[in-house]
Structure 1
Amino acid sequence: MSGADPEVGRPRRLPTPFDPAELAELRSGDAVLISGEVLTARDAAHERFARAIAAGEPLPVDVAGATIYFVGPTPARPGHVIGSAGPTTASRMDPYSPLLIERGLRAMIGKGRRSDAVKESMRQHGCVYFGAVEGTAALLSKCITAAEVIAYDDLGTEAVRRLRVVDFPAFVVNDLYGGDLYLEGQARWRQG
């Protein structure tokens, strides 16, 4: 069974780290609720990852089996774990994503389309891209129950963080089979 549970019409609950067999059941357009550990990284952190890989240095975090959320959260207000945490445009990470996917990155969360090179790397190495709904940063931050900086502290909001998320809502944009929600959605709209 994939995607939304047909008996109750609810999104599928997925714990991290993702089981490859569960990811294989997903199809573009499926709604999910993600719970567990998720890393954050944006442009500056991805550029540093790429430099470390090029220099043969270890990455500051193990990306094998991990999920990276493309986000640069705002500072937390008193009494909150994190500030607003909306998705960053994923295409900004496209030059770097294949390097991480080849090292076992299991999933990415962001907004917007991915390049053909990233989608091909995802198909070859078993990685899924989830879309978080833009414009919901304050609501998404309520799904984050813990946050700690674990690398590149000097990058401020773009530092790499380890988040604990509960029922973080997302949609499968690119599945393991080449499905692409953006292309399929446009095709359905044109037919309608």
Structure 2
Amino acid sequence: MTYRIAVVVGSLRRESFNRQLAAALTKLAPQPLEFVTVRIDDLPLYNQDDDGNQSEQVKRLKTELSQSQGVLFVTPEYNRSIPGVLKNAIDNASRPYGQSAWAGKPAATIGISVGAIGTAMAQQHLRNILAYLDMPTLGQPEMFVQHKTGFFTPGGDIADDSTKQFLQKFLERFAEWVKHHADKVANK
């Protein structure tokens, strides 16, 4: 069985390290996972007044999430937290109350930054949000990746073999996590 994974990149920048990491992870994904990057750059700012008449962009995001068996968040860290664009996407797809597209979806978080601690604070804040949204989130291994010159090859792959192997182990563990939770839902 193939498990469709919605990849949510928390950066809008064209040359974003996190966007590049998401693309590289897509190439490394183990066989049962099919990564599909979802678009969040065109979502309106969340406004509760719109809950009864959500925009087409929000409906599209919620449909893409509903068609996925898991979610991979690839996010930078802004001011020791998650970027506003990511929080906006989370809020839009979680509403109206009781109709969250996130609920029950197994998730994992990863991020890359030039800082020595990678995106540790952003991921911790994101984990708090995901817990509230009822998203079982992979706890280990934690993935705080530091970007340095030469991290990516000119073709967009991970340059260092040991880093590539570390990321593959993370993805294999995430595949097990998704399968475990998808099987639990199927057996209910």
TM exceeds 0.5? Answer: no
TM-score interval, normalised by the smaller of the two chains: 0.3 to 0.5
1 or 2, which has the higher strand percentage? 1
